Amino acid sequence: MSINPDLQGRSYPAAEVYEVGREKVREFARAVKATHPAHFDVEAAQALGHADLVAPPTFAIIVAQRADAQLIEDPASGIDFSRVVHADQRFTHHRPIVSGDRLVAELHVDTVRGMGGGAMITTRSEISTVDGEKVATTTSSILVRGEGQ
C-alpha cells in the first residue's frame, strides 16, 4: 500500500491524558544520563522555582509518540511501521514539563512528500496541559520506505 498524500493537512485530536509521575521523570533522566538534581530531588527542583521534579527536555517525546501512534495506526495512512526510518526530531519548549502535569498532544501532518517509492512525512505534536496551557511542540520526520527499498 502506498502512502496517502491526502494525509497532509490532517489533524488527529488529543487523545488519552499522560500523567507525568515523579518516578517516570527519574527513570527517563537515568535513561538519557541527565544528572541535574532537579530531575531527581523535589527540593532541588523547588529551589529553582518549579512545583515538582523537572523532566529532561526530551521527555516530551513520550507524549509525542502517543500522538504519532494515531497516524501510524490509521488504516487510511498506508504506513507500514516496519518500513519506517526515523529521520529527524525537534523540540520547542514553551515551559518545562514537571511531575504532576497532565498532558495531551494534538498531532498535525504538516507535509507528505513522495520520494521514489516511499514518502517523507513531517508531523507536529502540540503538547499542552489538559487545561490548555502550551507546554511543547515537537516536530518529527519519518521516511517510509517503498516496497523493494
On whether residue 130 sits in a domain, the answer given is yes
Residue-level pLDDT at 118 = 85
Q: What angle do CA 94, 100, 101 make, to 5 degrees?
A: 35
- Residue 11: inside a domain: yes
Only one residue has cell 502550551, namely 134
Burial category of 48 from C-beta neighbours within 10 Å (exposed 0-12, middle 13-18, buried 19 and up): exposed
**Does residue 91 sit within a domain?**
yes
What is the per-residue pLDDT across 33-71, written as a single tens digit (0 to 9) for each?
A: 999 999 999 999 999 999 999 999 999 999 999 999 999
Domain harbouring 131, CATH code: 3.10.129.10
Query: To which residue does cell 509525542 refer?
Result: 64
Predicted local confidence at residue 2, as pLDDT = 73
State how far the Cα of 30 lies from the Cα of 47, in Å rounded to an integer: 21
pLDDT in tens, 4-26: 888 999 999 998 999 999 999 99
Instruction: Dig out the grid coordinates for 135 from the structure.
Output: 507546554
Checking if the pLDDT of 149 tops 50, the result is no
Q: Residue 79: its pLDDT value, please? A: 87
What is the value of pTM for the model shown?
Answer: 0.91
Q: What are the distances in angstroms from CA 14 to CA 18, 50, 56, 130?
A: 11, 26, 22, 9
Q: Give strand pairing partners of 84.
A: 144
Amino acid at 26: R
- pLDDT: which is higher, 82 or 147: 82
pLDDT at 148: 60
pLDDT tens digits for range 63-112: 999 999 999 999 888 888 888 999 999 999 999 999 999 999 999 999 99
User: In this structure, is residue 44 part of a structural domain?
Assistant: no
The verdict on residue 71 lying in a domain is: yes
**In terms of residue numbers, what domain contains 65?**
5-19+57-144
Provide the number of structural domains found in the chain.
Answer: 1
Are 29 and 97 contacting, i.e. CB atoms less than 8 angstroms apart?
A: no
Q: DSSP code of 54?
A: B
Residue 133 lies in a domain: yes
Span 111-131, pLDDT tens digits? 999 887 789 999 999 999 999
Q: Is residue 50 part of a domain?
A: no
Q: What is the 8-class DSSP label of residue 98?
A: B
